[in-house]
Amino acid sequence: MSADYSRIHRLLKILMLIQSGGTWTAERLAAECDVAVRTIYRDLKTLEGAGVPYFFDGEQKGYRVRRDFFMPPVELTLDESLALLALGEHVAGREQVPMTRAAERAIAKVRSQLPTAVQQEVEQLDGRVAIDLAAAGPHDGIADVYEQVRSAIADRRMLRCSYESIQSSLDGGTGGGGSGGAGGGGGDEVFEFRPYALLFAQRAWYAVGHHGGRGAVRQLKLNRFTAVERTGKPYEIPADFSLADHHGQAWRMIRGEPRCDVELHFDAAFAETVADTRWHSTQQVDWHDDGSITFRCQVDGLDEIVWWVLSMGPHCVVKQPVELADRVRSLAEAVVAKYAAVQQE
């Protein structure tokens, strides 16, 4: 790739990034483009000379482009078109991810502007590409909460919230913040909330941000908000905050303590199924002559992985840590006891 082409590519990337919104500082642009900060400043000067009306937004602490400026229409390839249509028409159109139906309308607009040749090829594949995600919960009651949180993040305005305080290991702990109020009792707790991000995970939407009542970052399920009120109080999202860091090495989304080295043995019947999927960023798989595997990973907390291990039934045996093996054994014994009681009835 020539130096001139590389720079043109970088200039277009910078322009698209600062048009997309978010806090795009020179430092963040430099990290995204893998160049020095001084190179970004030179590129911004070039964009200014080309008539691109960018400016530094002091309130949002990042570069932006004036809203009445538009780039020329983007030419999409067939592969790019199919990917967008699959996501927009199947995932958003059927609302497999709630609150994304607007993407279907956007895709309809994009589709109408595709080159004729691409449109014809796409039409040949209509109904031949499908995406089927796990079913999500009903979302009729969270649309207003979603919009309030989204607006608060965009405008950096604090929310005053009331939240249903139900003890739940799936929503609580360090990841969910689902335990009761300051006194630990039931009822709704009221607090000021500084949302940092919206997250769709494990079939539901969550708001991640600073919980004023706890003095820490919490992950709150949208369908458990009972009231959300926008305040005029401004706040800042920490520059070093990221969802990846917040989740750490959680098995799914609830980060716990301590960090554990997990070793599991899967028999030959389940070995290939388990090995074919990337369950965790740290996983390692060793195959054995009998077709079984040893599965290793390192997780922050055991509350989530214990249920995954149980879902594998007798095909999985915990080798370490002992605490995980004990928890699986105890829960399995409880299941056996339940069925023993049913047989006696």
For residue 14, tell me if it sits in a domain. yes
For residue 137, tell me if it sits in a domain. no
Residue 112, pLDDT score: 79
274 and 309 fall within a common domain: yes
DSSP 37-74: HHHHHHHHHHHHHTT--EEEETTTTEEEE-TT--PPPP
Range with the largest mean pLDDT of 57-71, 157-171, 238-252, 286-300: 286-300
- φ, ψ for residue 124 (rounded to 5)? -65, -25
CATH number, domain of 313, equals 3.30.70
Residue 76, pLDDT score: 81
Residue 316, pLDDT score: 98
CATH number, domain of 10, equals 1.10.10.10
Q: Is the dihedral of CA 132, 293, 284, 326 positive or negative?
A: positive
For residue 209, tell me if it sits in a domain. yes
Cα–Cα nearest to 47, from 23, 22, 14 = 14
Query: Quick one: average pLDDT of 127-135?
Result: 81
Per the DSSP assignment, residues forming a β-bridge with 163 are 189, 225
Mean pLDDT for the chain overall? 86
For residue 197, tell me if it sits in a domain. yes
> Range with the lowest mean pLDDT among 35-49, 93-107, 201-215, 243-257?
93-107
Query: Quick one: average pLDDT of 218-239?
Result: 94
231 and 297 fall within a common domain: no
For residue 250, tell me if it sits in a domain. no
- pLDDT over 50 (residue 1): no
267 and 318 fall within a common domain: yes
SS3 171: coil
Give the pLDDT band of residue 180 (cuts 50, 70, 90). very low
Residue 70, pLDDT score: 63
154 and 232 fall within a common domain: yes
CA–CA dist 294, 286 (Å, integer): 5
- Taking a C-beta distance cutoff of 8 angstroms, is the pair 205, 146 a contact? yes
Last residue of a domain, one of 65, 86, 114: 65
232 and 152 fall within a common domain: yes
Residue 203, pLDDT score: 87
- pLDDT over 50 (residue 168): no
174 and 209 fall within a common domain: yes
- φ, ψ for residue 218 (rounded to 5)? -135, 160
46 and 118 fall within a common domain: no
Residue 105, pLDDT score: 82
173 and 203 fall within a common domain: yes
For residue 97, tell me if it sits in a domain. yes
Domain count, the chain: 4
For residue 49, tell me if it sits in a domain. yes
For residue 252, tell me if it sits in a domain. no
- Taking a C-beta distance cutoff of 8 angstroms, is the pair 234, 154 a contact? no
- pLDDT over 90 (residue 327): yes
CA–CA dist 235, 157 (Å, integer): 6
Look at phi and psi of residue 343 and say left if phi exceeds 0, alpha if psi is from -120 to 50, else beta. alpha
- Taking a C-beta distance cutoff of 8 angstroms, is the pair 240, 225 a contact? no
Domain range enclosing 271? 259-341
Cα 261–chain centre separation: 25
CA–CA dist 201, 326 (Å, integer): 28
Range with the largest mean pLDDT of 6-10, 22-26, 137-141, 196-200: 196-200
Cα–Cα nearest to 253, from 218, 292, 294, 229 = 218
272 and 326 fall within a common domain: yes
Alpha helices in the chain (DSSP H): 3-19, 26-33, 37-49, 78-85, 101-112, 116-125, 143-155, 173-176, 243-247, 268-275, 305-311, 322-344
165 and 236 fall within a common domain: yes
40 and 101 fall within a common domain: no
pTM: 0.70
Name the token pair of 135.
Answer: 């079913």
Token look-up 């964009």 returns: 47
Residue 75, pLDDT score: 75
Q: Identify the helix (H) or strand (E) that includes residue 266.
A: strand 259-266
Query: Quick one: average pLDDT of 14-36?
Result: 86
- Taking a C-beta distance cutoff of 8 angstroms, is the pair 175, 256 a contact? yes
269 and 210 fall within a common domain: no
- pLDDT over 60 (residue 151): yes
278 vs 133, higher pLDDT: 278
Per DSSP, 289 falls in state: T
Range with the largest mean pLDDT of 54-68, 96-110, 127-141, 273-287: 273-287
